[in-house]
Amino acid sequence: MPLSFYVLDGLFRRVLRQNAGVPWAVHHTATIRTPQRLVVGQGTFPGDSPGVYINADNGVYIGDFTNLGPRVGLLSANHDVVDNTRQAAAAPLRLGRFCWLGMGAVVLPGVELGDFTVVGAGAVVTRSFPAGYCVVAGNPARLLRELNRDDCDAHAQRTYARHVARH
């Protein structure tokens, strides 16, 4: 990342207190609400893309080496349909390892995406795909194709090996 990214990150988090509770660098246009309820795996830096919005009020788990494209929305909470001043109860949102969410994708409360789930740009994920190893897209998101599990697992092994060698 260019130096200006880190300068802006410091300005927004330390001076303006935007995303101040997030322990990694985030883009100055990203918003992470309730960062203490956001759990991330290794090699994962949600909010480093522009315009990302994460509402972790009810908990969000993001697995190892998962990437969020620009303007992705992860929502773990919603409003009560009768009284929109109150939050409705919702299960935590879970993204597995090695997921990729394309630009403008939105994942709604309680959804679980298994390892190696690719979410197409602009998709609205309203239900879980816990088995993973797939590509989903559309509104509402639907299964487009399954991925080769052996290829994905070999990629994961190579990635973990490189990560361990660097650290």
**Catalytic residue IDs:** 79
The overall pTM is greater than 0.75 = yes
pLDDT in tens, 108-123: 999 999 999 999 999 9
The 10 Å Cβ neighbour count of residue 3 is: 7
pLDDT at 150 over 80: yes
Q: How far apart are CA 14 and CA 160, in angstroms?
A: 33
Q: Name which CATH class applies to 29-166.
A: mainly beta
Average pLDDT over every residue of 132-150: 98
pLDDT at 147 over 80: yes
pLDDT at 126 over 70: yes
pLDDT at 141 over 80: yes
pLDDT in tens, 11-41: 565 665 567 777 777 888 999 999 999 999 9
Burial of 34 from C-beta contacts in 10 A (0-12 / 13-18 / 19+): middle
CB proximity list for 45: less than 8 A, separation 6 or greater:
24, 25, 26
From 5, 2, 156, select the one nearest 66 (Cα to Cα). Answer: 156
pLDDT in tens, 49-105: 999 999 999 999 999 999 999 999 999 998 888 988 888 888 999 999 999 999 999
